[in-house]
Amino acid sequence: MRFTEFNFHPNLLEGIEASNYENATPVQEQVIPSILAGKDIIASAQTGTGKTAAFLLPVMNQILKNHIDGQVGALIVVPTRELAIQIAQHIEGLSYFTHLSSIAIYGGNDAQNFVAEKKALQMGADIIVCTPGRMIAHLNMGYVNMKGLQFLILDEADRMLDMGFQDDINKIIKGLPVKRQNLLFSATMPGKIRELARKILHEPVEINIAISKPPEKIVQKAFVVYEPQKLPLIKKILKETPYKNALIFCSRKQTVKQLARELKHGGVNVAEIHSDLEQSERESVLGAFTAGRIPVMVATDILSRGIDIDTIDVVINYDVPGDGEDYVHRIGRTARAEADGSAFTLIGEKEHNRFAAIEQLLGKEVEKVEVPKELGKAPVYNPRIRSGSGNRSPQRQFHRGAPKRR
């Protein structure tokens, strides 16, 4: 279905054309008509399915049709600063030929940004994208004006609840007018999301886009290793695999810091990104990574959903992520825009069962590559091994070298 078939506002269509959007994705074909019809939505859709445009385009269209000066038209609540910035950039591009105003509100900004946010919340902006914590900071000061709000959008709702934002979301919702259109998007639909949906949605249309599998063009490989083998193996992968941009994911920020430090000691041009960095530092690092000035990035899952860089051709999972969907999000950062990409996962001695669950979600086994002999003997893959049991490595701490042969 072509975007011209949705009867969007002419000025919005100009922005759609300038953004090189032609044919709607499956989630867009299902979501857009329901939003235009005034329905509440609960949609299961992941990053990469086109869901951002699926809610932005009809919301922008309706605000253009029913514009109210000095009022907030739509409030989009997201889990991370990176996603808020990304959505704000989408809005800027799609609304270029319209009079719509928008602002992204998130923590880590300086006082000048806070003043601009306050003005938008008092005087009105057509679309506000925010993180829960920052919005609560403004709400607590008593000047937020949401009387004319037409739309509430919760994006990546499962992620927000996992990050502990449920109370913040409830408080934000209490400050909104009862009569509004509600749109809830979530990659997964656990019980707590269903409960949230029952509280805020009115006779919603339910849309389920099947859990996306990684594109077939992503070459997936895994190494079964002892923990001390991970660092030398990553160095070897980076040395022997051609890439423009390589993104390495770690589950803990402390591991990110340690790994980045060790790679720098090894002569790798690498940067790190995690929640301890100020927003200005994150933006600077991301800019250098995007431009290719820094070819390797080590990051927490903060980047697994909030980054879209076409030149990432290698993704490495330093550790196995907590669930299959996080795995799909992580490796989905590569092979963008019809490009090819490779994804390597290092399966530690406590992570066999976790990776087996990911393979079950994928519906196939990921190729297990033999660990280079110079790194020492490696464990045998055993999906029945659970955390805290099974194979034990000679050393457990973060280590510069491979385990010694015995």
Report residue 253 as tokens.
Answer: 């920020």
Mutual orientation of helices 230-240 and 253-265 as an angle, nearest 10°? 60
Place of tokens 């996992």: 162
pLDDT at site 325:
67
Query: Collapsing DSSP states into helix, strand and coil, what is residue 341?
Result: strand
Q: Which residue has the higher pLDDT, 396 or 127?
A: 127
pLDDT beyond 80 at 17: yes
- As a whole number, mean pLDDT of residues 400-405 equals 40
- In this predicted structure, what is the pLDDT of residue 69? 85
Mean pLDDT computed over 357-376: 90
What confidence score (pLDDT) does residue 211 get?
58
Judged by average pLDDT, the poorest of 206-210, 294-298, 367-371 is 206-210
Alpha helices in 220-372 (DSSP H): 230-240, 253-265, 279-291, 324-331, 352-362
Per residue in 60-76, pLDDT tens? 999 999 988 889 999 99
Q: 203-237, pLDDT tens digit by residue?
A: 999 998 765 677 778 899 999 999 999 999 999 99
Is 402 a residue whose pLDDT tops 50? no
**Between 395 and 179, where is the model more confident?**
179
pLDDT tens track for 249-271: 998 889 999 999 999 999 999 99
Sequence letter at residue 308: D
Residue 24: pLDDT over 60: yes
Quick check: 390 pLDDT over 70? no
Q: At what angle do helices 191-200 and 166-174 cross, to 10 degrees?
A: 10
Q: What is the predicted pLDDT for the residue at 391?
A: 40
Using an 8 Å Cβ cutoff, are 335 and 217 in contact?
yes
Give the tokens for residue 307.
């980054």
Distance from CA of residue 350 to its chain's centroid? 26
In order, the DSSP letters of 19-65 are TT--B--HHHHHHHHHHHTT--EEEE--TTSSHHHHHHHHHHHHHHH
Instruction: Report which residue type is found at 235.
Output: K
For residue 183, give the 3-state DSSP assignment: strand
Within 10 angstroms of residue 226's Cβ, the number of other Cβ atoms is 23
Q: Is 346 helix (H, G, I), strand (E, B) or coil?
A: strand
Report the mean per-residue pLDDT for the chain. Answer: 87
- Would you state the pLDDT for residue 404? 39
pTM across the whole model: 0.62
pLDDT value, residue 275: 78
Worst-scoring range by mean pLDDT, 200-204, 233-237, 240-244, 388-392?
Answer: 388-392
- Res. 133 pLDDT band, cuts 50 70 90: very high
- Report the first-to-last Cα separation within the chain, whole angstroms: 63
DSSP-derived secondary structure for 76-121: EE-S-HHHHHHHHHHHHHHTTTS---EEEE-TT--HHHHHHHHHHH
**Predicted confidence (pLDDT) at residue 305 exceeds the cutoff of 90:** no
Cα dihedral 83, 85, 90, 91, rounded to 10, equals 120
Per the document, the length of the chain is 406
The predicted pLDDT at position 112 comes to 81
Q: Alpha helices of 241-278 — where are they, by DSSP H?
A: 253-265
Q: If you average pLDDT over residues 364-381, what whole number do you get?
A: 94
HSE (side-chain half, CA atoms, 13 Å) at 218: 27
DSSP string for residues in 376-391: ---PPP-TT--TT-S-
Q: How confident is the model at residue 248 (pLDDT cuts 50, 70, 90)?
A: very high
| Centroid of chain to Cα 44 | 15
Domains of the chain with bracketed CATH: 3-208 (3.40.50.300), 218-375 (3.40.50.300)
Give dist(CA 381, CA 384) in Å, integer.
Answer: 9
pLDDT of 313-339, one tens digit each?
999 999 998 767 678 878 888 876 566
DSSP result, 210-234:
PPPPPPTTEEEEEEE--GGGHHHHH
Share above pLDDT 70 across residues of the chain, in percent, rounded to a whole number = 90
CB-based contacts of 342, cutoff 8 Å, min separation 6? 218, 219, 220, 221, 241, 313, 314, 315, 334
Q: Which of 267, 269, 332, 276 is nearest to 299 (CA)?
A: 276
Query: Residues 26-35: what's their mean pLDDT?
Result: 93
Residue 187 confidence (pLDDT): 78
CA gap 160, 162 in Å, rounded = 5
